[in-house]
């Protein structure tokens, strides 16, 4: 596609509910990243894929967070038993190995998760 697409755009979850956030990266982009952005803060790294391999998940806040990219394209970030502190915007970005240096990451518009 022309850009990185994320869905849903907004999600309201009751505390304890499981949620799944979807990211469609730019076609052909090898690398895919998930970031969490709290209000007034910069994006915080969560996890990173190269094709279907999850190379780094050091930023995932707890074992309630899980990400996958089974076929090396679409990725899903799942949060189990959501807590109020999980409320944030979740950003997905993609890049090709060669374009990352010259053109940076391409971000989606994010999913705003509100846990009530």
Q: Which parts of this chain interact with other proteins (CB under 8 A)?
A: 4, 31, 33, 35, 40-45, 48, 50, 55-56, 91, 93, 95, 97, 100-110
Q: Give least dist CB 85 to other proteins, A.
A: 18
102: enclosing H helix or E strand? helix 99-103
82: enclosing H helix or E strand? none
> Of 17 and 76, which CB lies nearer to other proteins in the complex structure?
76
| Cα 98 off chain centre by | 21
> Of 79 and 92, which CB lies nearer to other proteins in the complex structure?
92
Q: Give least dist CB 81 to other proteins, A.
A: 27
87 — phi, psi (to 5°)? -60, 125
> Of 3 and 16, which CB lies nearer to other proteins in the complex structure?
3
Interatomic CA distance for residues 113 and 104, integer angstroms: 25
Q: Give least dist CB 91 to other proteins, A.
A: 5
Q: Give least dist CB 65 to other proteins, A.
A: 16
Nearest to 107 by CA among 96, 94, 89: 94
């Amino acid at each position: 596609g022309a850009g990185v697409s994320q869905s849903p755009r907004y999600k309201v979850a009751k505390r304890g509910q499981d949620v799944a956030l979807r990211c469609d990266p730019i076609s052909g982009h090898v690398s895919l990243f998930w970031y969490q952005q709290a209000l007034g803060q910069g994006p915080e790294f969560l996890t990173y894929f190269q094709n279907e391999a999850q190379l780094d998940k050091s930023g995932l806040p707890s074992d309630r967070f899980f990400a996958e990219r089974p076929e090396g394209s679409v990725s899903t970030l799942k949060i189990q038993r959501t807590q109020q502190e999980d409320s944030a915007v979740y950003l997905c970005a993609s890049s090709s190995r060669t374009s990352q240096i010259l053109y940076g990451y391409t971000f989606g518009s994010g999913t705003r998760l509100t846990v009530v």
